[in-house]
Amino acid sequence: MNKYPKIGIRPTIDGRQGGVREALEVQTMNMANKAKELIEANVKYMDGTPVQCVVASRTIGGQADASIVYDEFSSENVVATLTVTPCWCYGTETMDMNTQTIKAVWGFNGTERPGAVYLAAAMSAYAQKGMTAFKIYGHDVQDSDDDSIPQDVQDKILTFVKGAIAVGQMRLKTYVNLGSSSMGIAGSQINAAFFEEYLGMIVEFVDMTEILRRMKLEIYDKAEYEKAMNWVKEYCKEGIDINKGKEFPEIITKSKVIEADKDWDFIVKQALIIRDILFGNEKLKEIGWEEEARGRNAIAGGFQGQRQWTDWLPNGDFTEAILASTFDWNGIKQPSAFATENDTLNGASMLFEVLLTNKAAIFSDVRTYWSPESVERVTGKKLTGKASNGILHLINSGASALDGTAAARDEQGQRTMKEFWNMTEEDIKACLAETDWCRANYEYFRGGGFSSHFKTNAELPVTLIRLNIVEGVGPTLQIAEGYTCVLDEEVHKILDERTDKTWPTTWFAPILGAPGFESVYDVMNHWGSNHGASVHGHIGHELITLASMLRIPVTLHNISSDRIFRPSIFDGFGTKDLEAVDFEACRTLGALYKK
């Protein structure tokens, strides 16, 4: 099977020969090729490769043609199809009836031989058969010789493709569960059925002792270890040691079994080993470890850490931060969705964001709501700008992606966060320069280690999300678009140090006005967990489309209705209360991979 999931493009046509079909062949194939060009120029796989499309070798005027195209697509790993037509076609005789593909239909909005009429007929048939398909219908009527793709049609095609390719990249990949339950966090008590039935993924369980085994038996690339250590010494500057001057009880001091000056040695090996467990490493085969070299076919994972590990060994903050970032000692790299405290639901949230944006996702505690009144009481100063209605403190124990510094620069020299292939050497150095590594607080982490410490030092559009599982309902998704905020330096310092001054901070202000978003307090009050994942850009509409493909209802969001793009069949469940419609449609249709 081909490595990459692909989009199959199906040019459908009025099958009547003797003038009608012949007159439409060129226009129909032109639509298909235009769609291919649009997709391949704008959407990329996780590794940065442009998404691949397969255009059917013929136009489809009936199921005899369709059957040939099914065979063509079956050898190409086609996970989704975009049916395009400028004309009326015979509905059920030309539709994609393959139950294994995600479907969309673009019907040309013209009047001569309107593809929009076929589009409506096809959507009706799909709904009647209980099959999901996305309806792509341009807002304005086009002339029959207009071969352009209107902007609103482009937006829908690309939103559909991004979601479908995300679904395809997750299928039969692995979530690697390193460890077990962390500190009673429900998300770290992995629900394998969720990954299998909704995401089409496989869950692998690896005990944390596997890391120690590989350290003891030296199952890692020693040359890369030396390279990584030299990189750490040059670029990972140490910050404050919060433990200095403290007198700790014996229960803490005797738990530090790795000497403090050996922490970096330990955690760099840990990072190499965990990466190899997930993704494999051919270098291990060269030193005699063929099984270990294969990895676990992972696309995401998480590390338990607390407390059975961190009560006596250095924490996983460095590993988690570096895996999640768009770079390491080897230069730029694909960011990984890797969950702190093995919160698998936040790991899956990060995965959605990485798949849709190719940017680093930031794992955070959704720690504190700061009202304007509370900030003024504590600091004597008022919040201003986007922060003026209050802010959420997104902070985590040193494991957030270093891209969260917002130290990278765009073409205009403005701070931003980038797709990994756009990161420059200057961007990498800037992110490292704005990060220091603080020795872990021994009261929290008896085994020591280092935590990344920075602040998001720019006002950027971001999307914060969280997957939850509700008994009797199943998985649900929460989405909050908003902005990172840059606070007055004194205000930042006072608020930040009330939590832990060795951890990375992002101040977040959600966009208000939607139901559930009446105030920043309401967002905090409705949030389904102590964790959330954020990513650069306002991608809430893309997440809603992806969730609808997976049949995951969205319980909280601030996305305007004109941006929401779900399968046409959802309209059959109602058009007024869209949240209730989403729930009922997802419940009726069932999980994408439900047996």
Mean pLDDT of all residues in 256-263:
96
Element (H, E) at 265: helix 263-279
Residues 204, 158 share a domain: no
**Range of 409's domain?**
174-589
pLDDT tens digits, 378-419: 999 999 999 999 999 999 887 899 999 999 999 999 999 999
Residues 394 and 364: beta-carbon distance below 8 Å: yes
Element (H, E) at 151: helix 151-170
Walk across the sheet containing 174-178 and list its strands. Answer: 202-206, 174-178, 298-303, 337-340
Asked if the structure places residue 435 within a domain, the reply is: yes
Residues 203, 67 share a domain: no
- Name the least confident of 92-96, 192-196, 262-266, 576-580: 576-580
Residues 327 and 420: beta-carbon distance below 8 Å: yes
User: Which one from 65, 263, 365, 582 is the annotated catalytic residue?
Assistant: 365
Asked if the structure places residue 595 within a domain, the reply is: no
Q: pLDDT band for position 187 (50/70/90)?
A: confident
Q: Write out the binding residues.
A: 341, 365, 531
* N-terminal to C-terminal alpha carbon distance within the chain: 23
Residue 262 has pLDDT above 50, yes or no: yes
DSSP 8-state assignment for residue 52 = P
- Tokens representing 130 are 């209980």
The domain boundary, picked from 170, 189, 206, lies at: 170
pLDDT tens digits, 118-127: 999 999 999 9
User: Which one from 14, 341, 403, 481 is the annotated catalytic residue?
Assistant: 341
- Tokens representing 401 are 């992606």
Query: What average pLDDT is seen over the chain?
Result: 95
Q: What is the rounded CA–CA span in Å between residue 555 and residue 527?
A: 10
Asked if the structure places residue 554 within a domain, the reply is: yes
Asked if the structure places residue 594 within a domain, the reply is: no
Residues 180, 166 share a domain: no
Residues 343, 401 share a domain: yes
Q: For residues 86, 91, 96 and 99, what is the CA-based torsion angle, rounded to 10 degrees?
A: 150
Residues 180, 144 share a domain: no
The domain boundary, picked from 147, 170, 193, lies at: 170
Residues 208, 74 share a domain: no
Q: What is the CATH number of the domain that holds 577?
A: 3.20.14.10
Q: Is 341 a catalytic residue?
A: yes
Q: Is 571 a catalytic residue?
A: no
Residues 158, 295 share a domain: no
pTM above 0.85, yes or no: yes
Asked if the structure places residue 493 within a domain, the reply is: yes
**What pLDDT, on a 0 to 100 scale, did the predictor assign at position 2?**
59
Residues 337, 307 share a domain: yes
Asked if the structure places residue 306 within a domain, the reply is: yes
Which one, of 106, 136, 101, 105, lies nearest residue 5 by Cα?
Answer: 101
**What pLDDT, on a 0 to 100 scale, did the predictor assign at position 1?**
42
Asked if the structure places residue 196 within a domain, the reply is: yes
Residues 142, 180 share a domain: no
HSE, CB side, 13 Å, CA atoms: give it for residue 30. Answer: 13
pLDDT tens digits, 13-46: 988 999 889 988 999 999 999 999 999 999 999 9
Residue 88 has pLDDT above 90, yes or no: no
pLDDT tens digits, 134-157: 999 999 888 878 888 999 999 999
Residues 252, 237 share a domain: yes
The domain boundary, picked from 114, 139, 170, lies at: 170
Domain count, the chain: 2
Q: Are strands 202-206 and 174-178 parallel, antiparallel or unpaired?
A: parallel
Residues 208, 165 share a domain: no
Q: What is the CATH number of the domain that holds 37?
A: 3.40.50.1070
Residues 456 and 368: beta-carbon distance below 8 Å: no
Asked if the structure places residue 464 within a domain, the reply is: yes
Q: Write out the binding residues for Mn(2+).
A: 341, 365, 531
Residues 200, 121 share a domain: no
